Amino acid sequence: MVRAAVLPAVGAPLEIADIDLPEPGPGQVRVRLAAAGVCHSDLSLSDGTMRVPVPAVLGHEGAGTVVSVGEGVAGVAPGDRVVLNWAPSCGSCHACGLGEVWLCANALNGSADVYARTADGTDLHPGLNVAAFAEETVVAASCVLPLPDGVPLVDAALLGCAVLTGYGAIHHAARVRPGETVAVFGVGGVGLATLQAARIAGASTVVAVDVSPEKEELARAAGATAYVVASEQTAREIRGLTGKQGVDVAVECVGRAVTIRTAWESTRRGGRTTVVGIGGKDQQVTFNALELFHWGRTLSGCVYGNANPAEDLPVLADHVRAGRLDLSALVTDHIALDGIPAAFENMLAGKGGRSLVVF
């Protein structure tokens, strides 16, 4: 039995409970969690914006130590430090065949599995495959990645989602070049990682945008050279900071129609807007045909940073070891399992960066 945060139904409060976690079967790995990040996607799963089978144990951003492995597992062994990979690619679907592993059609198939049970025998599903909101979890071997040396295990949890997403948005999706100007909308965990990634990429001007004035210090520490409190004048302010042209690249980390539209309006003619935030179906963004032609801007989505976790994790670890990437700077709150509901409330209120569950 291990302690876990259980989502009994969509829209219901999380329940901290003991769950019956079996030993790993063939091709599976049991991991003792060191830490798990609280991501906005977990909130979206709990409120039904995104759908997973319930009841479930959420949490998809985590790192820990391998406890045991099932038959046929060769890539990791007990005692190994690992990062959880919530979106493992199958290697055989159309997207994987194109090398676009972040769009794998089968990546989330494991979320429908029964991986554990409550004390009364109710089946539990692993939210987004890995069920990181628990002291221990059992996952497919494809859902663990060896953690390179020199990265603190607790901080490494952030590599599983926020950092891969933010880094990938800059380096893979938007392909920011040295000297370009960048605006990042939303200074949460992913936004802070995106700001650091823009600095690593050599952006000349990095504008952070958020509704909260209190986040300016966090944003500047992450690499922002300017800070704008979101308003109806945001696009105008950003053009004023960039010679009236607009930024080369805008990255939207919020998932709201008004923010996506503002990010697009904040880019220069021919600029690039990358949407990372996950919004609901009710968030409709509109453009007219003439402005699309005139401005020549590119608007694109970005899934999991368009990253290949197996290839990108060693690169990120190198940035951490060299001091270019500060994982601890993304975290504003260290909490226990029972602190997750409050972390959700802080996200809804636009407070702080990443909350990290430490076991």
pLDDT of residue 156: 97
% of residues, the chain, pLDDT over 90 = 93
Flag whether pLDDT at 169 surpasses 90: yes
Mean pLDDT across the stretch 159-164?
Answer: 96
Distance of CA 52 to the CA centre of its chain: 17
Three-state helix/strand/coil letters over the chain = CEEEEEECCCCCCCEEEEEECCCCCCCEEEEEEEEEEECHHHHHHHHCCCCCCCCEECCCEEEEEEEEECCCCCCCCCCCEEEECCCCCCCCCHHHHCCCHHHCCCCCHHHHCCCEEECCCCEEEEHHHCCCCECEEEEEHHHEEECCCCCCHHHHHHHHCHHHHHHHHHHHHCCCCCCCEEEEECCCHHHHHHHHHHHHHCCCEEEEEECCHHHHHHHHHHCCCEEEECCCCHHHHHHHCCCCCCEEEEEECCCCHHHHHHHHHCEEEEEEEEECCCCCCCCCCCCCHHHHHHHCCEEEECCHHHCCHHHHHHHHHHHHHCCCCCCHHHEEEEECHHHHHHHHHHHHCCCCCEEEEEC
By C-alpha distance, which of 139, 166, 132, 144 is closest to 60?
132
Tokens of 77: 């062994």
The pLDDT value given to residue 51: 85
pLDDT class of 320 with cuts at 50, 70, 90: very high
Pairing of strands 247-252, 56-57: unpaired
Q: Is pLDDT at 163 greater than 90 in this prediction?
A: yes
| Alpha carbon of residue 310 to chain centroid | 16
**pLDDT surpassing 90 at residue 131:** yes
Residue 317: the pLDDT is 97
Tokens of 287: 């453009």
- Asked whether 84 and 50 are in contact (CB, 8 A), the reply is no
pLDDT in the model for residue 291 = 95
What pLDDT is attached to residue 107? 95
pLDDT tens digits for range 12-22: 999 999 999 99
Burial annotation 325-354 (CB, 10 A radius, 16+ → b, else e): bebebbbbbeeebebbeebbebbeebbbbb
Sign of CA dihedral 7, 8, 14, 17: negative
How confident is the model at residue 307, as a pLDDT?
A: 96
Can you give the pLDDT at residue 113? Answer: 94
Is the pLDDT assigned to residue 244 strictly greater than 90?
A: yes
**Using CA atoms, how far apart are residues 319 and 158, in angstroms rounded to an integer?**
14
In the structure encoding, which two tokens stand for residue 65, read together? 């130590």
Note the pLDDT tens digit of each residue in 74-122: 999 999 999 999 999 999 999 999 999 999 999 999 999 999 999 999 9
Alpha-carbon distance 4 to 136, whole Å? 8
User: Does the pLDDT of residue 49 top 90, yes or no?
Assistant: no
pLDDT of residue 253: 97
Question: Residue 117 — φ and ψ, nearest 5°?
Answer: -140, 155
Is the pLDDT score of 159 beyond 90?
Answer: yes
Query: What is the structure's pLDDT at 280?
Result: 86
Predicted confidence at residue 350, as pLDDT, reads: 86
- The chain-wide mean pLDDT, for the chain, equals 96
Q: Is the confidence at residue 228, as pLDDT, over 90?
A: yes
Backbone angles phi, psi at 176, to 5 degrees: -65, 135
Quick one: pLDDT band at residue 304, thresholds 50, 70, 90? very high
- CA 170 to centroid of chain Cα atoms: 14
